[in-house]
Amino acid sequence: MAGGNFAQQTTTKQNSKQNPKQQENNKAYFSLDKKTVDFGEIKMGTTKTIQLSFTNTGNKTLVLTDVYTNCGCTTIDYPKDPFFPGKSGTIKITYNPTETGPFNKTIWIYTNAQNNSEEVKIEGIVTEK
């Protein structure tokens, strides 16, 4: 009899673990093409723009709510329109160097998705003109 109760308790615990998973699957999911973007070499006095691709791999509409960068030398242009499940888009990242040498910056992307924030690193090297 005790063995039967144990099996019932185990089943109940497994079911309670599955319920949050099922709820998670009923959300948007923000999938980035890559989390590190290599700008390569940029000459001082010029700018370089790279597009970062993403896809909504979830089951609900995805909205990018905000994008931040840790440097005034980086500007971001991101879509404000919603992305239905399976749809893709791009974020434009422009780097305007202020000094020569290697650089490594961070961009934070916030969404309404299950994974509501993602971090992207950009890197490269700035050379003389």
Q: Where are the domains of the chain?
A: 3-127
Number of alpha carbons in the 13 Å side-chain half-sphere of residue 115 = 12
What angle is formed at CA 90 by the lines to CA 87 and CA 93, rounded to 5 degrees?
165
Q: Which two tokens stand for residue 21?
A: 């998973």
Residue 56 CA to residue 58 CA, distance in Å, equals 6
Q: What is the pLDDT along the chain (129 residues), one digit of tens a residue?
A: 444 443 443 333 333 333 333 335 689 999 999 999 999 999 999 999 999 999 999 999 999 999 999 889 999 999 999 999 999 999 999 999 999 999 999 999 999 999 999 999 999 999 998
Residue 80 CA to residue 75 CA, distance in Å, equals 16
Looking at residue 24, its pLDDT comes to 57
Residue 92 CA to residue 80 CA, distance in Å, equals 13
Note the pTM of the prediction, 2 decimals.
Answer: 0.78
3-127: CATH homologous superfamily? Immunoglobulins (2.60.40.10)
